[in-house]
Amino acid sequence: MNERPGRDRSSAGDPVRTLELLWREPGQGARRGPKQRTTVDAVVAAAIRIADADGLDALTMRAVATELGVTPMATYTYVPGKAELLDLMIDAVYLQMPRRDFTGKSWREKVSAIAQDNLAMFDSHPWLTYLPTTRPPLGPGMIAKYDHELSAFDSLGLSDLEMDGALTYVLGFVNSVARIAIDSHRAAADSGQSDGQWWERAGPLLERVLDGDRYPLASRVGTAAGQAFDAAYSASHAYEFGLARVLDGLADLISDR
C-alpha cells in the first residue's frame, strides 16, 4: 500500500461542484433519463474499499468503475473526477465515525476518547493519514466531526480560537503517531522482517561500531528503548506517553481560565 504524500490532497477539485456533491444538492447526484445503475454513495463506498485495500495509488476512476461493474465513462456521471471523489471519501469516513456520549465525562476523558477514535479511523483507513486536509471538505461528515470534537472543549473558559487550536493540537498529535504505526507496518511488510528480526541482524554490528563513551546518551537510552520495545520505536508507547503530555499541556491552558 504505497502512498505518495503530497500528491493528493483534499479540496483540489472545483469547490462548487464538490460542495454540491458533498451535500447531495439536486442536479449532481440525480440525473434524468434511463434508470441509473449506481449512485454517488455506491461510487464513494467502492473508492474507499479500493483505497483501504491498496492505497491511493490504486484509486482511479477506472478501478472504481470495475469495482461497480460499470463503464469508466458512466462513473463520471456521478463524480467529475478523482479530486472530488477524494473529498467525498474523506467526508464519508468522517460521517461514519462514532459520536460518543460525553455526558458526565471530564474534559480529559472526552479528549482521550476523541484521540482514540481518530487513531482507530487512521488504522482502518491508512490512506487518510497521508492525505493533507488543510482545506477540509466542508461536507456533513466533516462538520459533524468538528462540532462533536469541539464539544470536548466547550464550557472550559477557552476562547473560540483556543478551542479550535486545542483540537488541532490533539488531532495533529494523533496523526503523527498513526504515521509511526503505519510506517512500521510497511517497513516490516516491505523487508519481510519484523522489527525484532531486523534488530537481531543489525545489533551485533552496531555494538561493534557504536562508541558508548563518545555517545553515552544515545547508547544508554537507545539500548533501553530497544530492549523495551524490541524496535527503535513503539507506536503504542508513543501514543500513551504523548497523549498524557498533550493532556497535561492543555490542563495548563485550561487552569489559567
Domain CATH code at residue 65: 1.10.10.60
> Of 123, 158, 176, which Cα lies nearest the Cα of 250?
158
Q: For residue 7, is it within any domain?
A: no
For residues 173 and 246, membership in a common domain is answered with yes
Domain boundary among 94, 110, 141: 94
> What is the total count of domains within the chain?
2
Q: How many CA atoms lie within 13 A of 61 on its CB side?
A: 16
Domain CATH code at residue 148: 1.10.357.10
Answer yes or no: are the C-beta atoms of 135 and 10 closer than 8 Å. yes
For residues 71 and 185, membership in a common domain is answered with no
How far, in Å, CA of 254 to CA of 166, rounded? 10
Q: Report the run of H or E that residue 40 belongs to, with start and end.
A: helix 40-54
Q: For residue 8, is it within any domain?
A: no
Question: Which 8-state DSSP code applies to residue 26?
Answer: T
Cα R_g (the chain), whole angstroms: 22
Q: For residue 197, is it within any domain?
A: yes
How far, in Å, CA of 113 to CA of 105, rounded? 10
Domain boundary among 69, 94, 119: 94
For residues 168 and 232, membership in a common domain is answered with yes
Sequential pLDDT tens for the chain (257 residues) = 444 444 699 999 999 999 999 999 875 444 554 457 899 999 999 999 999 999 999 999 999 999 999 999 999 999 999 999 999 999 999 999 999 999 999 999 999 999 999 999 999 999 999 999 989 999 999 999 999 999 999 999 999 999 999 999 999 999 999 999 998 888 888 888 887 787 788 778 888 888 889 999 999 998 898 889 888 778 999 999 999 999 999 999 999 87
> Of 97, 116, 113, 95, which Cα lies nearest the Cα of 152?
113
For residues 113 and 90, membership in a common domain is answered with no
Q: What confidence score (pLDDT) does residue 1 get?
A: 43
For residues 89 and 107, membership in a common domain is answered with no
For residues 130 and 28, membership in a common domain is answered with no
How far, in Å, CA of 89 to CA of 84, rounded? 9
Q: For residue 3, is it within any domain?
A: no
Q: What confidence score (pLDDT) does residue 160 get?
A: 98
CA dihedral angle for residue 146, residue 147, residue 151, residue 157, rounded to 10 degrees: 90
How far, in Å, CA of 203 to CA of 155, rounded? 52
Rounded to the nearest 5 degrees, what angle is found at the Cα of 118, between the Cα atoms of 141 and 9? Answer: 60
Q: What confidence score (pLDDT) does residue 193 get?
A: 85
> Of 125, 99, 114, which Cα lies nearest the Cα of 170?
114
Q: What confidence score (pLDDT) does residue 27 get?
A: 56
> What range does the domain containing 185 cover?
100-255
How far, in Å, CA of 26 to CA of 126, rounded? 32
Neighbours of 223 (CB within 10 A): 15
Q: What confidence score (pLDDT) does residue 202 get?
A: 79
